[in-house]
Structure 1
Amino acid sequence: MQRDIDFTIGDIVENLHDPPLSSFAQQNVPRATYSNLRFLKIPSLNNNRNLISGVTCELTERGAHSGEVNYVAVSYCWSSSNSTSLDTGDDSSQPSPTVQVNQNGTVRPPKCAAEVLIRAIMFAISKNVSLIWIDQECVDQNDETDIQNHLRCNHIIYHQARFKIGLLNFELTSKRQIDCLGGIQLVHRLTDSRIYRGWGVRSILKDIQFLTRLVRAISRDRWFTRAWVFQERYSANIDMCLLLPVAGEILESFTPGFGIDLIGGDFAMVIGEVCTVAVVWRQHLSDPGLNAQLRNNTSINASLPEALNSLHDTVQFLSGPIFAGTPLNIVWDTFPSGAGRPRDINSVRNFPIQRAFEEIESCDCQVVSDRVAILSNLMGFEWRFPTTSFKSYSFALVSLLVANAYFPAVLVRTSNPRPPDLFSRSLTVMDLIVRANNLKTLSADTSALQLELSYISRALCEEVVSEDETLSVSIKDAIQHLVEGPYSDNYDNLPESFLTLEMTNVRSANIVPLSLTIGEILKGVVGVNHVDNVGLGHTHGAIVIGYGIQTNQLRAGDIFMAFDGAYRWRSGCIENSFSW
């Protein structure tokens, strides 16, 4: 598959109607896979709390822990290392722990780097959890079917896990760095703002500024550049825990305090605490005592808001798709009292498909078809296709959007319909009635919507009511009421035959602007929550139909009836990109 995002769709394909529907298959997420995972099992947790003597994990069989979610899912950067011991990078005479895997009675080295597995084991032991899921071990890398099944449910594997960890390589090299990150935990735990009066606002400002610089440095870790990691971060949400290794000389002198400790040689940083630290600091700074200090120091009083905003924007990168780009005041509003766990994380997540595409494109991923799988997982696509079906990445995405109803469509009245294909579909009577009802839920441009409803009503009357003499008057009235009256989802009075009876001359069609790249197409689409605001009228529909006829996507004589589906083109996109 070629990553051709710089080409327009017209550069890539000559005939949009080539892809057959048989290229696509409805692929439900394989529950049998994510409910019956293989795990690495740590034997005798209490006996392995000190790993100096080494540990041998058992690779369990599928189904041995059916439905289990009490496990640690590990997100990391793959390494070519196959060493069985942890290279600590220092000259300590203390022996490095070794790790092995028992697979069906045969003991072998781990397929992932020993350092990765040992860090994961130490975390699991600290949480008293014996099961670890790590892809290099728990997915059969020699079985293409097993690989594909796990790719399709990878997001669920991370979402359902009780613990999710990201293994970073950024090393903490000073006590100040550890104290600074430990301060994130403290400001969440020490909820009495009067405690911070003794710190002084000058010290607080310096801590906030240093934390901002430290987080920026951490965000340059290679882990953040991987496309699969992006999906894993999204799936893990605010529960992702980042593990940062601590330099050997700092590790030797580290003393736990205030409930803050290390996990093996790592400092653990929970994303939910990181992405909200500026919010919690803002609450603490509203304390009357701290306010009095700020009033007495105008320079710090002027600098603190800017420092908090800078910190907030910086930590959102670590949070990734959860709070990234969300203003501080909106994050603040998601908390019951400015501290604690968010009431509803979905209230601040703004993750349209355009942003998903842009985030994936900003990440490293050598296998182009993996980008398609990641986007499908993020958006929860029901319809997929074999990656060998398309040579073009851009056209594969267009086809995927169309198949999953993420691509704007129009209802077309035609006297000469072509056979159904991916971009043009026939409709049943019930399909058209439901679409009419959905139009009524929109409030924008009432006159345009009324015109669209009248076209649908006329089509139903001409093709169904007037030609079927067996329909009773009550059924005819019910059809007319559902189309022309107020919104109603009660279809009890309609015959079951309407579920299968096809409209002869009405189709739903996706008209693709051939002059745009896939990125430009996604920018031109308005999502389901904003279709009321796009201001489309009958003239826009006529432009789209005219363009479709000129580019051979429709046939001469096709007439616009209504905009269709949960997505719309932006009016400017139609005016600029559907001209011929």
Structure 2
Amino acid sequence: MSKKNGVANDTKLPLELIRDQTSSSLISSVLEIVNGRTVSKENWLNYVECLYVAKDSEEPSGKRRRVENGSVAADSSQLLRRRSIGLFQRECYTEDIPYIAVSYTWKASKEEEADEETNKETAGRYLVEPHKPGQPALAKVRPVVLDRVLKYAERVGCENIWIDQECIDQENQAAKEAAIQSMHLVYTLSHWPIALLTRRIKTPEELKLLANLMRNKIASEDEPAMLNLLDDITSDLWWTRAWTFQEDYRASTRMMLLLPHCRSLDTCKRAMVDEYGGYILGDVEGEICIKSMHFRERATEFCLSYQERSDKVDICNRVIKRATKYNVLLKDKHSAYSATRSMSPIILSDIIWRGIGKESDRLAIMANCCDYGTRINTNFLNEKGSSLSLSILAQYLLNGEIIENDPERPALGILKHNIHEYLSEQSLSSFRPPVKQGLTFIKGCRFTNPLLTPEGALTTGHLWKLGKVIRRKPMKCEKEYGTSYEDIAVDLVECARDRDRGRSLYRGGWWLDCMADEVEDALMQGKALRLGCLVDPRNGRGYSPYRAVFVGDSRDDWKNENDISYAFTSSQFHEEDKPGYTEKHVSLEVDIEWQRRDRPEGRSPCMIPKLYIKRWLNGICFFDSVHRREVLFPWHPTLLE
């Protein structure tokens, strides 16, 4: 590894080569990275500093002149002043004060350079109030960028603008680091996040193609031209940078793409409306405004469909790679569930291939996109010249991501893989989200506060011994069954009553509702149900009565109920209602290796049990005030080689 030369980007290298360079197992290297070198949420921003256009009364004399119609003279400057907007008020993040968060590339595109040369005589000039007392200075941000942002701001009626190059003190390293770790908050909480693309729409034909894409009405004869247009639009620099990927991902449904168009197309653009009379491509002069999520969804759907009947597979894949929509791309066509895999590995892949100035920033972007609460101190990694691959693995495991660990099963992830390939193959792929928003559900399927040890990941939760299997014919709504297993029946009835009243039993009410629905659906479909009783991991002793119901994949699941099996569940529901605080939950069927020891008087006969994952297992459980206990999920042998 390179020494004192920044984090080494070795993400294309096989893990076995990285391991050989360190002369130790992958886990030993991971532990060396994480021990005592993590960053907490306390370093996140509590406020953002925004710019706004100064009023005439706030202008220094002579800085701005107006012409007869009231607009600013072309040869004068506008002053942008600063104000702070609090993100953290009354123990929760607030969206009460709107601001525009701008996503753009610091490097000018060829289109922008050409426009600036053409319009250099009439381009706006901007002065910005300094971070510390002093005279305003010329803006670092290109005038063409500020021109577009201020025009959009005026149209939507929002005067506050956040733009990184001006609003983060680039000379203050502590402020920069806090901002890097907080970008998910800046874009998540913005009312008006916008992305400035530079590929100009030049003809009525291109305008019509884009409108038809957004309406999902593309004629077969237009498909080749549609693909070429998508390839052009997604060739924009904005799609190729890691930071702008994060900004788009975190802004989510609010991110608005702005594409410039020839001014002669304004009338034609405004004539394009949907069935409700809304503008399909927006009504900002000189700009096409479309939601990023809708554009990516339509582009992904079109390319996935078109590549099946076209020889342009490479172009289709290129567009999908740049502008993918995960819920479309990751939909499992062979499963009844909306998704069975986590987004995290593909998010990681999308971060890795994109360009970035500082390699260690990829870790912050990964954490921001995946809602990781535990981050690694990148200053330490840069000083040591640490492996980026091993740092990614460390952060992945630190935040409770679940990887297969059963040594009896064939390893899907091998050390000939690079880090992305390994995590894609070895991460759990048997999730069963009981909701349509499957990827959102899976994002919370993580261990609670895992402690990484040389043997495995220590975490806490509840252990259940699986017992009685219930097999029924598909249940009809009006039919009532008997009164067997009264304790679990009472729990379920109380749960149902609370749901009918619209009252959750605890903060994780959404999770409880999802699992209650899954049990109800299983009864309707005639799937096997299996009851569970709590087990004390310290001694293996079970408690009656049954207090959990788990759902099989079919009626024939658990053919022999005498086969001993266990389930492990855990949950973490935060009191804070804040972005960045992901509610975590786990429900797994597991095999157990009980670790016996000589029993000195007064001590438990068992050490912490080792759990090996069999599959994800939906179910609903009631543990009242029973404390969580420690269990160990051993590492897969590939990580220990």
TM-score range, shorter chain: 0.5 to 0.7
**SS of the residue aligned with 2:401?**
coil
Contact 2:199–2:233 (8 Å) recurs in 1? yes
Matched, 1:242 2:257: yes
Aligned partner of 1:437 among 450, 464, 488: 464
Of residues 16, 26, 38, the one that matches 1:25 is 38
1:208-223 equivalences under 5 Å are 208-223=223-238
Going from structure 1 to structure 2, the CA distance change for 1:322 and 1:264 (only over 3 Å counts) comes to farther
Contact in 1 for aligned 2:282/2:288 (Cα 8 Å): yes
2:80 aligned to which of 57, 71, 74 = 57
Structure 1 residue 268: deviation in Å? 2.1
* 2:25 aligned with 1:4: no
> Which of 542, 545, 548 pairs up with 1:487?
548
Query: Contact 1:322–1:349 (CA<8 Å) still a contact in 2?
Result: no
2:463 partner SS: helix
Q: Return the letter of the residue paired with 2:48.
A: L
Q: Which residue of 2 aligns with 1:144?
A: 173
Map 1:534-545 to 2 at 5 A.
none
Distance 1:11 1:567 in 2: 34
Q: Does 1:36 align with 2:47?
A: yes
Residue matched to 1:268:
289
Deviation at 1:105, TM superposition (A): 6.3
Paired position in structure 2 for 1:75: 103
Aligned to 1:355: 346
**Do 2:398 and 2:452's aligned partners in 1 also have CA atoms closer than 8 Å?**
no
Change (3 A) 1:56 1:21: closer
d(CA) in 1 for partners of 2:457, 2:640: 26
Of 396, 399, 405, which aligns to 1:401?
396
Correspondence for 1:343: none
Q: 1:230 and 1:92 mapped to 2: Cα distance?
A: 30
Structure 2: which amino acid aligns with 1:134? I
Report the alpha carbon displacement of residue 422 of structure 1 after superposing the two structures with TM.
4.2
**Bigger helix share:** 1
Instruction: Report what 1:372 is aligned to.
Output: 363
Give 1:241 deviation, angstroms: 1.6
Query: How far off is 1:371 after superposition?
Result: 0.9
Given the alignment of the two structures, is residue 204 of structure 1 paired with residue 199 of structure 2, yes or no? no
Distance 2:340 2:292 in 1: 15
Amino acid at match of 2:165: Q
Q: What secondary structure is seen at the aligned counterpart in 1 of 2:284?
A: coil
What residue number does 2:204 align with?
175
Between Structure 1 and Structure 2, which shows a larger proportion of strand residues? 2
Listed as ranges, the gaps of 5+ residues in structure 2 are 1-6, 57-65, 272-278, 408-450, 468-514, 520-529, 551-567, 569-583, 596-606, 618-634
Asked if the contact 1:43–1:56 (Cα under 8 Å) also holds between the matched residues in 2, the reply is yes
Pairwise CA distance, 1:160? 1.4
Q: CA deviation at 1:358?
A: 1.3
Q: Partners of 2:613 and 2:162 in 1: how far apart?
A: 43
Q: 1:460 aligns with which of 522, 539, 544?
A: 539
Q: Shift of residue 92 of structure 1? A: 6.4
Whole-angstrom CA distance in 2 between matches of 1:204 and 1:359:
31
3-state DSSP of counterpart to 1:38: strand
User: What does 1:238-317 correspond to in 2, within 5 Å?
Assistant: 238-246=253-261, 250-252=262-264, 254-256=266-268, 257-258=270-271, 259=279, 263-277=284-298
Query: Contact 1:238–1:322 (CA<8 Å) still a contact in 2?
Result: no
* Between 371-380 and 17-26, the greater mean CA deviation after superposition: 17-26
In the alignment, what sits opposite 2:129? 102
Query: Relative to structure 1, is the Cα distance of residues 410 and 149 closer, same or farther in structure 2, using a 3 angstrom cutoff?
Result: same
Kept in 1, the 8 Å contact 2:123–2:144? The answer is no
Aligned to 1:392: 387
Q: Distance in 1 between matches of 2:542 and 2:330?
A: 45
1:113–1:27 CA distance, 2 compared to 1 (3 A): same
Residue 136 of structure 2 aligns to a residue whose secondary structure is: strand
1:100 and 1:438 mapped to 2: Cα distance?
A: 68
Tell me the CA shift for residue 135 of structure 1.
0.6
1-structure distance, mates of 2:267, 2:97:
33
One-letter amino acid matched to 1:403: L
Per the alignment, residue 467 of structure 1 pairs with none
The count of aligned residue pairs is: 426
How many Å separate the matches in 2 of 1:97 and 1:485? Answer: 72
Aligned residue for 2:32, secondary structure, equals: coil
- Structure 1 residue identity aligned to 2:288: F
Q: Is the 8 A contact 1:73 1:164 kept in 2?
A: yes
CA 1:166–1:437: 2 relative to 1, 3 Å: same
Alignment check: 8 A CA contact 2:259 2:288 kept: yes
Distance 1:92 1:140, change over 3 A: closer
For the residues of structure 1 that align with 2:229 and 2:100, how far apart are their CA atoms? 27
- Deviation string for 1:424-463 (max 9, x for gaps)? 58979xx4xx3413989999xxxxx99x999x758526xx
CA distance in 1, matches of 2:466, 2:394: 25
Contact 1:72 1:162 in 2 (8 A): yes
- Mapped contact 2:39–2:377 kept (Cα < 8 A): no
Q: Within 1, Cα distance between the matches of 2:537 and 2:294?
A: 58
- For residues 3-25 of structure 1, what are the alpha-carbon distances to aligned partners after superposition, in whole Å with 9 as ceiling and x for unaligned? 12314252243341762865233
Question: Do the aligned residues in 2 keep the contact of 1:75 with 1:229 (CA within 8 Å)?
Answer: yes
Helix, strand or coil: the match of 1:99?
Answer: strand
Q: CA offset at residue 217 of structure 1?
A: 1.4
Q: Show structure 1 runs of 5+ residues with no match.
A: 189-195, 197-202, 282-301, 334-345, 413-419, 444-448, 462-478, 490-507, 509-526, 546-557
Q: Does 1:120 align with 2:149?
A: yes
